[in-house]
Amino acid sequence: MPEDATEELTYSATSTSTRSILPADMISVEEARARILEQFSRLEAVEVGLLEAVGQVLAEDVVAGFNIPPLANTAMDGYAVRAADTAGATYEDPLNLEVIGYLPAGEVYDGAVAPGQAVRIMTGAPIPDGADAVVPFEETDEYGSDVAYDPSRTSVRIDVEAKPGANIRVAGEDVREGETVLPEGAVIGPAQVGVLASLGRDRVLAYRRPVVAVLSTGDELLRPGEPLTPGKIYDSNAFSLAAQVQSFGGIPRVLDVARDTVEALTARIHEGLADADMLVTSAGVSRGDFDVVKTVLANEGEVGFWTVKMKPGKPLAFGTFRGDGGKQIPHLGLPGNPVSAMLTFELFGRAAIFKMLGKEHAWPRPVIRAVTKDRIRNTDGRRFYARVILDEEDGRPVVSLTGPQGSGVLTSMALASAFAICPEDLETIEPGEECDVILVDRERAQYGSAASAQAAGY
Ligand code: AMP
Ligand code: MG
């Protein structure tokens, strides 16, 4: 479809009616996204290993079966004592206690601390009966000593008075038995994984990751690794899109490039869709291309063609595909141009994957205001997503264009750390003016900018 076409066309093998997923006119990015998201829902809960769950959403309330820590224990290496016994101790006038034992972490002291006694104790070890405070080594004659522990030691000098409870972590300080520690709906990150592990959990219920089938279409395409021949290009979309799927938390399934006959393609897509939750195609569904892919997509489901007020990436197909067993699989048909394909998937595919993961509201990227160093032009009333490098000058965020902004210039995506937005109703943003900037990749901000890397270095 030429990028300036505005008409809408609906293909349906099953129905001639226009459903809600098939809008008739040019629509905004927000409207397109809302209509797409209607067709997705959160996937079912599955049990997964802890590390696998990172980025997924908890599908259960996690309730503590015991206190953490289970027993009162020492926060310092030192001596477990009865606080009353240390009353009046000072550096000038210290006192001595009898050492009755040694307790490493992981063991429980078999006995009790009586008046005048102390147990040498290592961080994390449970407080022995009778003791109610820990005097750290720094406040004893072990201060500054790097001499190995002498098991024949019978007394310790106490230099500082200890208050009851000093350096003791009480049982249940972190987590109380019966408490809901992590609620259903929590996004699982490193800290949540740590908390689950601290509860002894090695598996957890989380909403399933979506499997996203990625299909490239076009007779010009070769797979990387094949020899380049005249007239051909390598299929980059399958890989950039699959990588996006993966980075958004989905499981990509790259199907073979589609050409061939209707029969062969139909069979191939069905094979690839066997357990897919979403089908993403690039190219081949253009309004002008009455090609095999489009015929198959129309035969096997329902597909509508939208013109979205965005650039790059206006032509967009969306519909549903009938998988085996009658399962309706949402189909997102992206433009073929490599930048358009990636940008539309960033704007629509990311939200869809997040919704299936159960974190629908987490898809938006952070947006900041930044001053542009280059003129950003919007020629035709569509929202322009300029690929920019985010930098910092005089303590303020600034952006500059990555270079040529054509929708085939994939290296503009590789250089970009952000998208600067030129709104639909604005023709140009002049150098020195501010604009909204979507932060796509904090890590890549360093690529063009030592300054912003430093700014992030807290
Ligand atoms: P189309 O949407 O088929 O008109 O394609 C638009 C442009 O994107 C053409 O220059 C195609 O060669 C290119 N293109 C289509 N699919 C891919 C792909 N998978 N990888 C790289 N370029 C592609
Ligand atoms: Mg084509």
- What's the 3-state SS for 306-374? EEECEECCCEEEEEEEECHHHCEEEEEEECCCHHHHHHHHHHHHHHHHHHHHCCHHHCCCCEEEEEECC
Residue owning the nearest CA to atom 17 of ligand 1: 336
Residue owning the nearest CA to atom 6 of ligand 1: 336
Report the atom number in ligand 1 closest to the C-alpha of 236: 20
Judge contact between 251 and 209, C-beta under 8 A.
yes
344 lines ligand 1 (CB under 6 A): no
pLDDT tens for the chain, residues 1 to 458: 343 333 333 333 343 444 445 455 689 999 999 999 999 999 999 999 999 999 999 999 999 999 999 999 999 999 999 999 999 999 999 999 999 999 999 999 999 999 999 999 999 999 999 999 999 999 999 987 766 677 888 999 999 999 999 999 999 999 999 999 999 999 999 999 999 999 999 999 999 999 999 999 888 999 999 999 999 999 999 999 999 999 999 999 999 888 767 887 788 788 888 889 999 999 876 656 546 677 787 888 888 878 899 999 878 889 998 887 788 899 999 999 999 999 999 999 999 999 999 999 999 999 999 999 999 998 888 999 999 999 888 888 999 999 999 999 999 999 999 999 999 999 999 999 999 999 997 666 544 444 444 444 45
Of the ligands numbered here, which is closest to the C-alpha atom of 283?
1
Say how far apart CA 337 and CA 377 lie, in whole Å: 20
* 3-class secondary structure, 306: strand
Residue 280 CA to ligand 1 centre (angstroms): 14
**Cis peptide bond upstream of 69, omega within 30:** yes
Residue owning the nearest CA to atom 3 of ligand 1: 283
Report the atom number in ligand 1 closest to the C-alpha of 286: 2
284 lines ligand 1 (CB under 6 A): yes
**Cis peptide bond upstream of 312, omega within 30:** yes
Judge contact between 217 and 211, C-beta under 8 A.
no
338 lines ligand 1 (CB under 6 A): yes
Say how far apart CA 96 and CA 102 lie, in whole Å: 17
233 lines ligand 1 (CB under 6 A): yes
235 lines ligand 1 (CB under 6 A): yes
Say how far apart CA 305 and CA 11 lie, in whole Å: 8
Sign of CA dihedral 318, 319, 324, 325: positive
Report the atom number in ligand 1 closest to the C-alpha of 220: 12
* 3-class secondary structure, 308: strand
Say how far apart CA 236 and CA 216 lie, in whole Å: 9
Residue 218 CA to ligand 2 centre (angstroms): 5
Determine which helix (DSSP H) or strand (DSSP E) holds 247, and give its type and residue range.
Answer: helix 237-248
